[in-house]
Chains A and B, each alone.
Chain A
Amino acid sequence: QLQLHESGSRLVKPSLTLSLTCAVSGRSVSSGSYSWSWIRQPPGKGLEWIGYIYHTGTTSYNPSLRSRVTISIDRSKNQFSLELSSVTAADTAVYYCARGRGGSYPYYFDHWGQGTLVTVSS
């Protein structure tokens, strides 16, 4: 059974870099059938897609965050990671990792991690 689990820093100071990892179990991140995404949700608000990575290392990011986002993949550990630089209070959110279906593109997300709340505060 596929499971995704987010981990990383829960409290980040303004201007620093947020770092999260999504550990995947039950399916290889190297499978060509899926992509792997990060999605966030500010408290009480809607969902925002951050970006995705394919097993080849190909990435795509939300244009509004592109200058600050890096998503990487570690096939040996079966996980993928998110780095978001120069954070502000507006980056406070629950961050989810999710599996995308549609081959190399995330047409939709069929499995999600439980989410982790990251707070940006000094």
Chain B
Amino acid sequence: EIVLTQSPDTLSLSPGERATLSCRASQIVTSSHLAWYQQKPGQAPRLLMYGASIRATDIPDRFSGSGSGTDFTLTISRLEPEDFAVYYCQQYGTSPQLTFGGGTKVEIK
């Protein structure tokens, strides 16, 4: 099973600051099979990125994704008030195996 480790657990930042979230895999992940989601309290997750770096429909360009192999990053260039939430990475691999990271909470400092 591919384990996804997200860091940090919590990121305390102010609106307007840059957020950098990490997702590290225990084995190589095909980039086209790596996605990121945003979840707000009481809501279902919302797809942000797929294929590691492709923004989903209606996702603003302050969100960007990068990485390959075992290390992936989600960057929010300038935090807006609505961006404070929990973020999850997810991978699909063979077996099949589909796993999520443990999540990073971005909170207002």
CB within 8 Å for A101 and B50 given contacts A106-B92, A107-B35: yes
User: Bound complex: CA of A62 vs CA of B56, how far in Å?
Assistant: 26
Most buried by B among A47, A48, A52: A47
Residues in A neighbouring B45, C-beta threshold 8 A: 47, 96, 109, 112
Interface residues of B, CB < 8 Å — how many? Answer: 25
Q: Closest Cβ of chain B: how far from A118's Cβ, in Å?
A: 15
User: Bound complex: CA of A113 vs CA of B90, how far in Å?
Assistant: 18
Residues in A neighbouring B98, C-beta threshold 8 A: 49, 52, 62, 106
Q: How many A-B residue pairs have CB under 8 A?
A: 57
Q: Closest Cβ of chain A: how far from B39's Cβ, in Å?
A: 8
User: Bound complex: CA of A114 vs CA of B98, how far in Å?
Assistant: 21
Stretch from B11-19, B76-84, B99-107 that touches the partner: B99-107
Report A's interface with B, CB cutoff 8 A: 46-49, 52, 60, 62-63, 96, 101-102, 105-110, 112-115
Question: 19 new A-B pairs (CB below 8 Å) besides A105-B92, A112-B45, A112-B46?
Answer: A46-B100, A46-B102, A47-B45, A48-B100, A49-B98, A60-B96, A63-B1, A63-B97, A96-B44, A107-B32, A107-B35, A107-B50, A108-B33, A108-B47, A108-B50, A109-B35, A109-B37, A109-B47, A110-B47
